[in-house]
Amino acid sequence: MYSKEQFAKLMDSSLLKPTATREEVIRCCQQAKKYHFAAVLTFPFWMPVVSKELAGSDVKPGAVISFPFGMNSRAVKIFEARTAISNGAQELDVVANIGAIKSGELGVVQREITELIESIRVTGMTEDARRTLIKVIVEMAYLTEREKIAVCEIVRDSGADFIKTSTGTAPTGATVEDIRLIRGVVGPDMGVKAAGGIRTAAQAVAMLDAGASRIGTSTAAQIVDSYVPEDYMEGAESNEEREEG
């Protein structure tokens, strides 16, 4: 099981409220540095603030792109991504085009994601040789199982680093079943980020056990504070005993 420090490093602390103020963004960054989270995710507008606050720390500045529906044109998404990188973003959570997926226009989805990632890679490598981490949000709550599998295959083959389950704005967020499905499609090496509705340590651990490799949440500090590694070690030992018996 994860130590408390390892557990904290699996957290992306998100602040995506439309009413969030500059002071709240700064506090979010300060908290992330204190806990050593993986990244702070917020809107591109705040990237200059976030990158300044996180400079010199082990927490990465991250921006959401085409949030929350993915319905901007490819050109707009590319411009938004490049601008975010130029303002200091080292991770991008990009929303796949939900309407195109639901319309069965998977060729459009594939071309858009591939072109976007290629453009981001070029831009990222020109910024002090820094490689930008790319997560594609597929908003599982709106998709049928067939659509989920198809879009996961597209993202898997696109060169992205992660698939992410949700923006947190859909009727439901991450589920254990969706994490297992994604992991089954993409295999063991690609990142899988569970996000949307994760507010407790037990929920986070369940997602990690199902195959997630990153947790996105607006309550990262509370989750880490409530995480007691020994509780889950005891559970794991009990499971092993039952399996052996």
The domain ranges of the chain are 4-244
Predicted local distance difference test score (pLDDT) of residue 1: 83
- Whether residue 93 lies in the annotated active site: yes
The alpha helices in the chain, defined as continuous H runs, are 4-8, 22-35, 47-54, 74-86, 98-102, 106-126, 145-158, 176-186, 201-210, 220-226, 229-244
User: Among 222, 218, 183, which Cα is nearest to 197's?
Assistant: 218
- Whether residue 135 lies in the annotated active site: no
Selecting among 77, 135, 148, 193, the annotated active-site residue is 193
pTM over 0.75: yes
Selecting among 12, 77, 93, 178, the annotated active-site residue is 93
Please state which CATH class domain 4-244 belongs to: alpha beta
Alpha carbon distance 98, 104 (integer Å): 10
User: Among 242, 206, 204, 211, which Cα is nearest to 226's?
Assistant: 204
Selecting among 77, 135, 164, 178, the annotated active-site residue is 164
- Whether residue 77 lies in the annotated active site: no
The predicted-structure confidence for 85-115, as pLDDT tens digits, reads as follows 999 999 999 999 999 999 999 999 999 999 9
Predicted local distance difference test score (pLDDT) of residue 235: 53
Q: Provide the token pair at 243.
A: 């399996």
